[in-house]
Amino acid sequence: DPTPDKPLIINLPSTVEMGLPHVYACQIEYMHKNLVKRDCVQISLHPHNDRGCGVAESELGVLAGADRVEGTLFGNGERTGNVDIVTLALNMYTHGVDPGLDFSDLPAIRETYERLTNMTVPPRQPYAGQLVFTAFSGSHQDAIAKGLTFRKEAGRKRWDVPYLPIDPADIGRNYDGDVIRINSQSGKGGIGYMLENTFGYHLPKNMRESVGYAVKNASDHAHKELLPDEVMKVFADEFINVESPLSFVRYDVKNAGDGVQACVTLRSGGKLIDYIGNGNGALDAISNALKSNLGVSYGNMQYSEHALEEGSHSRAAAYVGIADAVGRRVWAVGVDNDIMRASIKALVGAINKLLSGAHSFGDD
């Protein structure tokens, strides 16, 4: 005879789902309430997925009193398969219930399953599919990027990132390759997030639109999704140390009254040319020197900087945005071991863009 320590398992299947999930749950509840020696019996669910409701039946059946669920990896089984035990278990996990199954390396489980069965897990299979955490839409990428940034800055432990019902890291996935994918539909938020978290470039808010257009344009012309290194190449080619037609060589600064006087040397057409100007600071003086001598008019300079790495020998990144007379803004980035040299490279790069007629896809 069955005992509480050695219970009898009674399987109650939903073979071809002839009833709706709530009807199945009502049947389970009836058995749960009316079985003799209920404490000596384990009610076991055996749902199939003929009408696509296997997970719903399992969840409602457990809520109705079932003790056990029989399922298969990724819904394998006869006809349309049995209930997917991965989806069922991780649904419980996302609601704070320990399913008692270890899916901390789900990609390895999927690889083993595909290798042994010769079957393929669909790319949009819940939790296990290659694309389940992937956002291509610009608005979704922006929301995810902001959510991840807020969580990091606020030190939040509870997972509450938009469009991601579970932390990908909990099942062996990663953010860069799985969450943010860049194509012609991507948004500035997702592109900015990738550049910051993969390569360390903290783009100024007003620069993100210009970078976003450049990257999406490259993806559109290539007719494909861009990998992180390809995104970085577009960013470097379009914005970092732009050296044509002018390239920065050296600079010198000295005090001059209440301000400073700067001499900056640029290379143009193989010749070295010195430009001298005065200003409140070194970058202001160099900017004034280039404005007055190059015949280029711009204003409303926006500037930011940060270290790219830690340590005394780390490189610095400087960002300069300037606008021409009609408000068209250009951005450039300077990278150097010296922050002042990086700043001058960024300014010269922005001026080069003005001289070449390039501008961002937005006006001031």
* 1 token code pair: 């005879």
Residue closest to 182 by CA, chosen among 162, 197, 165: 197
Parallel, antiparallel, or unpaired for β 41-47 and 271-279?
unpaired
Predicted local distance difference test score (pLDDT) of residue 177: 62
Predicted local distance difference test score (pLDDT) of residue 359: 54
Note the pLDDT tens digit of each residue in 86-112. 999 999 999 999 999 999 999 999 999
147 class by beta-carbon count within 10 Å (0-12 exposed, 13-18 middle, 19+ buried): middle
Residues of the chain with pLDDT under 50: 361-363
User: What's the mean pLDDT when you consider all of the chain?
Assistant: 92
CB 111 within 8 A of CB 118: no
For each of the domains in the chain, give its residue range(s) and CATH number, in order of start: 8-117 (3.20.20.70), 138-239 (no CATH), 246-356 (3.30.160.270)
Predicted local distance difference test score (pLDDT) of residue 46: 96
Note the pLDDT tens digit of each residue in 59-87. 999 999 999 999 999 999 999 999 999 99
DSSP string of 252-321?
Answer: EEEEETTEEEEEEEEEETTEEEEEEEEESSHHHHHHHHHHHHHT---EEEEEEEEESSSSTT--EEEEEE
